[in-house]
Amino acid sequence: MMQMQQFENLKNGLLVRAPAKLNLSLLIAGRRPDGFHEIETIMAKIDWYDEIRIEPAQKTGIELLCQGPHWAPQDQSNLVYRAAQEILQASGQPHNVRLTLTKNIPAGSGLGSASSDAAATLIGLNAYLNLGLSRSQLMEAATRLGSDVAFFLSGPLAFCTGRGEKIQELPKGFDFTAILILPDVSSSTKEVYANYTHDGVLYRRLSTQIGTYIAKKRIDSAAGMCVNMLARSCFHLHEELRRLKEAVESLGVEPVCLSGSGSTLFSIVQVGEAEHLERLRGAIADKTGCGTVVVRNNRW
């Protein structure tokens, strides 16, 4: 996957790229009084992108079109539309914009594409329309839109807590290559959390260990733990994902981790193994029938 810049000026508009993410670790601290779960996660942007084209609209207000290999709603349920509403209301000025979302990253895959699309819309419209909104204003809008949106205004590597909206950016320096395994399964975040059973003892042990690695700036060691406390719940709901993980590991690809609430599985490979990626992709396809994508950590 080629590293690209986030913004690309067009003849009559602006193209904004929205990177996917991986949860290099994901812990659940427990349920909050508001019903949400408190999380601790290391998130990293990767160089696989949705794209949002911003242009003048032919009609009043916000016009949203969706295209690409994966489906996305073309109405107000789409976070791109809601993000546009948020920032245009914050500007206090009427604007007519046409947004074309090219959906390259599947929804329900644990890669955060909808949240990233929302963040890209916020910063893209802020730049394209010269609105001059501050970072704090953008972060406030991001928090209203969803738990992961704030991360995509930050990064590219961060330790996120709360519902995911509290961002502690981590120093750059953890470069990685990963192979993503993409099953034809859409995993519902809501259902995975509803099915989750908390293990406080396990959480405290893992949190201490990962906290130590973060303090020592050993993000590679934290990622190598391949910890995701939602995996058990996700695999209970989608037994086929457990079998897929076992099938991929039987090929010698390990550890195989779950990103977010699923359904994407991934494995970080050593730089020296890069020449074997095509062989691994072929072996995974032959064994499982699943598509794969090779990604690297994003630079922005």
- The model's pLDDT over 160-189, given as tens digits with 9 standing for 90+, comes to 999 999 999 998 779 999 999 999 999 999
Segment 241-266 mean pLDDT: 97
User: pLDDT tens, 18-60?
Assistant: 999 999 999 999 999 998 999 999 999 999 999 999 999 988 8
Annotated catalytic sites, by residue?
21, 148
pTM above 0.85, yes or no: yes
Distance, in Å, from the CA atom of 50 to the CA atom of 8, rounded to the nearest integer, reads 13
pLDDT tens, residue by residue, 49-94: 999 999 999 888 999 999 999 999 999 999 999 999 999 998 888 8
At residue 91, the pLDDT reads: 86
Domain boundaries, the chain: 7-169, 177-296
CATH for the 7-169 domain, from 3.50.50.60, 3.30.230.10, 3.30.70.100, 3.10.450.50 = 3.30.230.10
The DSSP line for 84-117 is HHHHHHHHTS---EEEEEE--S-TTSSS-HHHHH
Is residue 273 very low, low, confident or very high in pLDDT (cuts 50, 70, 90)?
low
Which CATH number does 177-296 carry? Answer: 3.30.70.890
Confidence of residue 272 (pLDDT cuts 50, 70, 90): low
Closest CA to 40 of 215, 165, 170: 165
What tokens appear for 255 in the block?
């550890």
- What is the pLDDT confidence band of residue 155, given thresholds at 50, 70 and 90? confident
- Cα–Cα distance, 26 to 42 (Å, whole number): 7
